[in-house]
Amino acid sequence: MNVVVIGRRGTNGPRRLRSLAARVALGCGALSMLARTGAAQTASGVGILLRLHPRVGDTLHTRLDQLTEIATQRSGGAPASPMMSKVTVLTRTIVRASRQATTTVLTVVDSAEVRSSDMHGAAMSAQAEKLLRGQRLIVQLAEDGSVKSATDASGGAVPRDVADAMAAMPAVLPRRAVAVGERWHREMPLPRAGPIGAGANAQVRAEFRLDSLSAEGDVAFVSMRGQIASDADARGVEMSGSMTGAMQIDRERGWMTDSFFTLLIHSVFSPPSGAGTQPMKFVTKITQRLRTMDKR
């Protein structure tokens, strides 16, 4: 899952934007290469082992479309007008090396469009677009899709919060063979997002299900659902929510061809006692689609 949220007034300038740019570029590449068959079916013909293991030289062209809606309300007060942002990113992911346990890819952001309905967010959107375009990131991925390392094209380390976010999002593959109808579970921390950094300590407890295979068996259809929960952190932020979605995995080529999910997050910020302000509620809804354009 590649979650990108354009923050409100609490966002910290260019440094924060660089993290956003890296997240989008990494996310498009990592999420676009989720699974490949690593072994034959079991003797009964029902077990499928999915793993990331694409072919060297393949180039994956992806389009990310995301709509984020953030609504706020103080306890006992009227809801504020929701802030909306739209993100469209086109990327290329080039497979540089494919070994038994790891895959190394180069992800290039060809174009980016970021729009916000919020006056303060509009200025940030323009900067985010500029930073996103032309990003070149080298990512090493494990067989289950998790990120082992990430650097920029010059070899510089990617910020830790970006690496942590990316390590969570693509690690969704089962570690065993699964049959149609079987389920597996993963826990993934949410990336920092929203006006108060929501997601820093929250976990998505996700369940995945292999729903079906195409007639030829080369495309796997997977559904996903999950719950978001966290205890209040040191800042007094408590979160809950849910996630639903589905994806199609090209087993022959070893990556995901289509993914759609909706993430709904409820956050409550309780200020310290004596601060003289009421708790603030945030409702964040993220709708995202990631598609692969076949340009073989």
CB atoms within 10 A of CB 70: 26
- Predicted confidence at residue 172, as pLDDT, reads 78
pLDDT tens readout for residues 120-171:
666 667 777 777 787 888 888 888 777 788 888 777 777 655 554 444 445 6
Residue indicated by tokens 């996103």:
132
CA distances from 133 to 36, 100, 110 (A): 29, 32, 6
Residue 56 pLDDT exceeds 90: yes
Handedness of CA 72, 73, 74, 75 (dihedral sign): negative
- Predicted confidence at residue 8, as pLDDT, reads 40
Which of the given ranges, 96-110, 169-183, 194-208, 232-246, has the highest pLDDT on average? 96-110
Residue bearing the bigger pLDDT, 11 or 234: 234
- 75 — pLDDT class (breaks 50, 70, 90): low
In the chain, what percentage of residues exceed pLDDT 70? Answer: 66
- Predicted confidence at residue 254, as pLDDT, reads 80
Query: Residues with Cβ < 8 Å from 216, sequence gap 6 or more?
Result: none
Query: Residues with Cβ < 8 Å from 272, sequence gap 6 or more?
Result: 236
* Cα 199 to Cα 282: distance, rounded to the nearest angstrom: 12
Euclidean distance between the first and the last CA atom of the chain, given in angstroms as a whole number: 24
* Cα 2 to Cα 100: distance, rounded to the nearest angstrom: 25
- Angle 13-31/119-132 helices, nearest 10 degrees? 60
Average pLDDT, rounded, for the chain: 74
List 92's β-bridge partners, or say none. 61, 108
Record the pTM.
0.76
Residue 289 pLDDT exceeds 80: yes
- Predicted confidence at residue 147, as pLDDT, reads 79
* Domains along the sequence of the chain with CATH: 13-293 (2.30.230)
| Helix (DSSP H) and strand (DSSP E) numbers for the chain | 3, 13
- By CB neighbour count within 10 A (0-12 exposed, 13-18 middle, 19+ buried), where does 144 fall? middle
* Span 189-203, average pLDDT: 54
Of 87, 83, 82, 91, give the one whose Cα is nearest residue 115: 87
* Cα 34 to Cα 170: distance, rounded to the nearest angstrom: 7
